[in-house]
Amino acid sequence: MSNIVYFETLDSTQTYLKQHFNELADQTVVTTDTQTAGRGRFDRRWVSEPGGLYFSVLLKPQKTDFLANLTQLLALCVCQAAEQYAVQPNLKWPNDVQVAGKKLCGILSEAITQNGRVAGLVMGAGINVAQKDLSHVGQPAVSLRELGVHVAKEDFMQNVLDLFFQSYPAVVAEGFSVIRPAYKERFPFLGKQISIKNGTAAVTGIAQDLSPRGTLMLSTPGATQEILIGDLLV
């Protein structure tokens, strides 16, 4: 059972856990109603208005080989939690959750290094539960409420966390292969043409597979490339 710390407002749950990493226990969760400086991937801003679910988890696993796969596990658990309400989400590699092309959840994952070694991970999810207006978040987005789901955000978070911690020990030990079938089932881009953008550079090809390491195998003219990170664009 995780220790859950609640704040009415914070700059960012992610920043809070990073700042208090040393004194907080493994598996501490921090959640808030609004963030004044919510952060997304690639230094983007994460608009965090009331009604949304914002939480971060601090992890200090014994084995740190598969940290990137823990982020993919969290995304999968958000899908599985939403499916309990008859929503059909899918995964946009590596860790976005979307419904019919609109973003339902984004996840930011930051490794913590101390004295030259990885000490742990702070991983945060922003889930559109019941915000009034998503028109200004900067990308097509949808909330559970708009999909007809009326759930208390605390209950939804607990559900996601329960699912996450059920599979956590196995993914820490063995990595993506533990969740690969479930992840691939929810990844609708296999066999399709996609682009992956990393910084300003984009590479286009056919999404061939997700490897046992959780990387994306992209078939481009002349070669298959293994993509480790980036933003998937259709």
Residue 46 CB, shortest distance to ligand BTN, in Å, is 4
Site for ligand BTN in 10-39 (CB under 6 A): 12-14, 35, 38-39
Nearer to ligand BTN, 47 or 182 (CB): 47
Nearer to ligand BTN, 42 or 224 (CB): 42
Question: Would you count residue 72 as binding ligand BTN (CB under 6 A)?
Answer: no
- Total of residues contacting ligand BTN (CB under 6 A): 20
Question: Would you count residue 98 as binding ligand BTN (CB under 6 A)?
Answer: no
Which residues, 6 or more positions from 158, have their beta carbon under 8 angstroms from its beta carbon? none
Question: Would you count residue 40 as binding ligand BTN (CB under 6 A)?
Answer: yes
Three state DSSP letters for the chain: CCCEEEEEEECCHHHHHHHCCCCCCCCCEEEEEEECCCECHHHCECCCCCCCEEEEEEECCCCCCCHHHHHHHHHHHHHHHHHCCCCCCEEECCCEEEECCEEEEEEEEEEEEECCEEEEEEEEEEECCCCCCCCCCCCCECCCHHHCCCCCHHHHHHHHHHHHHHHHHHHHHHHHHHCHHHHHHCCCCCCCEEEEEECCEEEEEEEEEECCCCCEEEEECCEEEEECCCEEEC
Nearer to ligand BTN, 13 or 64 (CB): 13
Question: Would you count residue 125 as binding ligand BTN (CB under 6 A)?
Answer: yes
Question: Would you count residue 44 as binding ligand BTN (CB under 6 A)?
Answer: yes
* Residue least distant from ligand BTN (Cβ): 106
Site string for ligand BTN, 176-215 (x = CB under 6 A): ----------------------------------------
* Residues engaged in binding ligand BTN (CB under 6 A): 12-14, 35, 38-41, 44, 46, 54-56, 96, 106-108, 124-126
